[in-house]
Amino acid sequence: MYLLALKVKAMGIKMVFSGEGSDEFFGGYLYFLQAPNDIEHTKECIRRVGQLSLFDCLRANKSTMAWGLEARPPFLDTELVRLGLEMPASLKKLKRDGRPVEKWILRAAFDVRNPETQEPVYLPDDLLWRQKEQFSDGVGYGWIDRLKAEADTQVSDYILSLASERFPVNTPQTKEEYRYRVIFDELFPNRGAEYTVQKWVPKTDWSGVGYDPSGRAQLAHRATHNVVV
């Protein structure tokens, strides 16, 4: 997002709309499809909305303002947030082509056709109904795969086994996490800095939900795309 903001600002654009919030209160992340019931689905939506300032909104603000680019999140209109959280969870995961679709109600709201030609008015079907991809996967699977491969060469199994001794707070559980944590400590060596950062993880106590934040770690993921623009 930091690099994307740089590119947008270089094009002479001063303000952009950003989609923060829609995945949180409409159940857009793939792991939401593994919710054991509608009550748990709604509880997780509420939890994610409460954490927006720690993750997505914080990332968007820092990444855009670093280049003097103003980002406005229209989905965070308070009435829309309230509507999304009060809406039945069943409307957020209805089926299309035989599979439950994450954030279904929002997609359906933009599925408008020209009455004469039946062509989409706003977005083509392959864009409107495509599978959700986390930011790290959405820029191309090779990006995150390369980072993981790089971490594997720098962090041995033995080093990872000692992670709790070196990092007792927010202990890294994968080699990729460990590598990021080392970089963080190099940039912010002051004692206590580790308490200022929270860790984004899916609801791993749900069946079929992997620990890795990547959407590809989730049971609901379909490996049909190589790159999502």
Encode pLDDT of 136-180 as tens digits. Answer: 777 778 888 899 999 999 999 999 999 999 999 999 999 999 999
Nearest to 102 by CA among 112, 111, 91: 91
CA 193 – CA 146 distance, rounded (Å): 28
The DSSP string of the chain is -HHHHHHHHHTT--EEE--TTHHHHHT-SGGGGG-SSHHHHHHHHHHHHHTGGGTHHHHHHHHHHTTT-EEE-GGG-HHHHHHHHHS-GGGGS-EETTEE-TTHHHHHHT--B-TTT--BSSS-HHHHTPPP--HHHHT-HHHHHHHHHHHHHHS-HHHHHTHHHH--SS---SHHHHHHHHHHHHH--STTGGGG-------TTSTT--SSSSGGGSTT-----S---
- At residue 55, the pLDDT reads 94
CA 47 – CA 49 distance, rounded (Å): 6
CA 188 – CA 15 distance, rounded (Å): 31
Lowest mean pLDDT among 87-101, 109-123, 128-142: 128-142
- At residue 224, the pLDDT reads 54
Q: What is the mean pLDDT of residues 100-113?
A: 96
pLDDT, greater one: 143 or 100: 100
Encode pLDDT of 51-84 as tens digits. Answer: 999 999 999 999 999 999 999 999 999 999 999 9
End-to-end Cα, the chain, rounded Å: 13
- At residue 7, the pLDDT reads 97
- At residue 139, the pLDDT reads 75
Encode pLDDT of 171-223 as tens digits. Answer: 999 999 999 999 999 999 998 999 998 889 899 999 999 888 778 888 888 76
Contact indicator for 225, 30 with CB cutoff of 8 Å: no
Q: Answer yes or no: is pLDDT of 12 > 70.
A: yes
Q: Answer yes or no: is pLDDT of 225 > 70.
A: no
- Residue carrying structure tokens 């303002």: 65
**Rounded (10°) angle between helices 56-65 and 2-10:** 40
For the chain, list the domains and their CATH numbers.
1-132 (3.40.50.620), 137-229 (no CATH)
Alpha-carbon dihedral sign for residues 55, 132, 107, 110: positive
Contact indicator for 69, 16 with CB cutoff of 8 Å: yes
Cβ atoms < 10 Å from Cβ of 161: 9
- At residue 215, the pLDDT reads 82
- At residue 228, the pLDDT reads 40
- At residue 18, the pLDDT reads 95
Q: Answer yes or no: is pLDDT of 17 > 90.
A: yes
Q: What's the chain's Rg over C-alpha atoms?
A: 19
- At residue 43, the pLDDT reads 97
- At residue 30, the pLDDT reads 93
